Structure 1
Amino acid sequence: MRPRRIHITGAAGSGTTTLGRALAAATGAVHLDTDDVYWLPTDPPFREKRQIPDRLALLDDALGRTDRWLLAGSLIGWGDPLIPRFDLVVFLLIPPVLRMQRLRDREVERYGAETLAPGGAMHATHHAFLDWAEAYDTGTRVSRNLQAHEAWLSRLPCPVLRIEGDTTVEDRVRRVLSVRLGEGRAWQG
């Protein structure tokens, strides 16, 4: 049986949202992103966190509306009540240099190079975000880091599919769609 309720997680810039959207297009499942419930709508975005009970209520409602969904993003530190809902967790891990370049490119695409440049309205915020994201691979000073992710994954009761390296979206979709439940706890992608 194919998994119907999939959580896709990894570091910022690892491609969780991209994979979630691609899988939704391929399967017709509903795609949800943790950023949409984690952050309150602000301009510019990603400035004010929503309270944890409110995040959980929003996700509980959204996940309860369908039996086939893809939830992209991170739940570390706040989303454990959702764990029993997962049929499968997909963990994306890409080389740090590539991930950081993707984040830089994404930030420029979102906000514009001028806004992020020295003297720009978001220069300090942009660099604080990049510093936070870069600490994922090597540090423990941020709550969302590789060590914390690995510990969280090791406690999950459902199978975990690890997809490591610089792989295409198409390859990632193929790997996820090839998973059949009941074939063991973990796969190496």
Structure 2
Amino acid sequence: MLEASCEVKRIVIFGNSASGKSSLAKMLAEQHQLAHLDLDTLAWLPITEYSSMPQRQSVDISVSEINTFIKQNNQWVIEGCYSDLLSHSLEKCSEVIFLNLPIELCFSNAKNRPWEAHKYKTKADQDNNLPMLLDWISQYESRTDTFSKAAHKKLYDEFIGKKTQHIDNQ
């Protein structure tokens, strides 16, 4: 997908849930020896026995963690659906990739994704969350929040530099 070169790679990948962000980021990280940051790992507070519903981490704390990651790594790939967090890394990146897949393809990806142990205690927990995830994915084009297609399109349109938009997982 990306050409081999000597340029410093600092890539930001965004798109709907189950659009393939993590898969693409892992592939690029391995292919180009890039540090990889999945924003899911820092955007949420840990779930405890007292909080069963996920809650967002303070944006300021998340941005601080992103800045630490960027300072510690010369070449990297950052991926997620959080435009409020991604916007802070755009000025430091060399390239953006917008995975603008059709909703139906995201549904298929969500149904076929392997167990994400960093997000769910068990595969059964992940499977139990699938109906909620499919509903969330279906709202991508109508939402107006930081996770929306409109927010991602704005990031993409306003980025000045190398940028690519994909409409499938090829």
TM-score between the two structures when normalised by the length of structure 2: 0.79
2-structure distance, mates of 1:94, 1:75 = 17
Question: Which residue in the other structure is 1:171 paired with?
Answer: none
Alpha carbons 1:83, 1:156 under 8 Å: kept: yes
Q: Establish whether residue 139 from structure 1 lines up as the match of residue 142 from structure 2.
A: yes
Give the 3 Å change call, closer, same or farther, for CA 52–151 of structure 1 in structure 2. same
Higher normalized helix content (fraction of residues): 1
SS at match of 2:57: coil
1-structure distance, mates of 2:86, 2:169 = 28
Question: Which residue in the other structure is 2:107 paired with?
Answer: 100
Q: Establish whether residue 35 from structure 1 lines up as the match of residue 68 from structure 2.
A: no
2-structure distance, mates of 1:80, 1:166 = 24
Q: Establish whether residue 10 from structure 1 lines up as the match of residue 15 from structure 2.
A: yes
List alignment gaps of at least 5 residues for structure 1: 168-189
Residue of structure 1 aligned with 2:60, choices 31, 53, 64: 53
Residue of structure 2 aligned with 1:74, choices 73, 81, 85: 81
Give the 3 Å change call, closer, same or farther, for CA 107–157 of structure 1 in structure 2. same
By how many angstroms is 1:155 displaced?
Answer: 1.1
RMSD, matched Cα = 2.7
Report the residue type matching 2:162 in the other structure. P
2-structure distance, mates of 1:85, 1:162 = 19
Q: Higher mean Cα deviation, 93-102 or 25-34?
A: 93-102
SS at match of 1:85: coil
By how many angstroms is 1:87 displaced?
Answer: 0.7
SS at match of 2:96: strand
Larger Rg: 1
List alignment gaps of at least 5 residues for structure 2: 1-5
SS at match of 2:68: helix
Alpha carbons 2:29, 2:36 under 8 Å: kept: yes
Aligned length: 159
Residue deviations 1:39-64 (CA, integer Å, cap 9, x gap) = 12336998222111110111100111
By how many angstroms is 1:161 displaced?
Answer: 1.1
By how many angstroms is 1:103 displaced?
Answer: 1.2
Q: Higher mean Cα deviation, 142-151 or 16-25?
A: 142-151
Q: Higher mean Cα deviation, 42-51 or 84-93?
A: 42-51
Q: Establish whether residue 154 from structure 1 lines up as the match of residue 157 from structure 2.
A: yes
Report the residue type matching 2:105 in the other structure. L
TM-score between the two structures when normalised by the length of structure 1: 0.72
By how many angstroms is 1:126 displaced?
Answer: 4.3
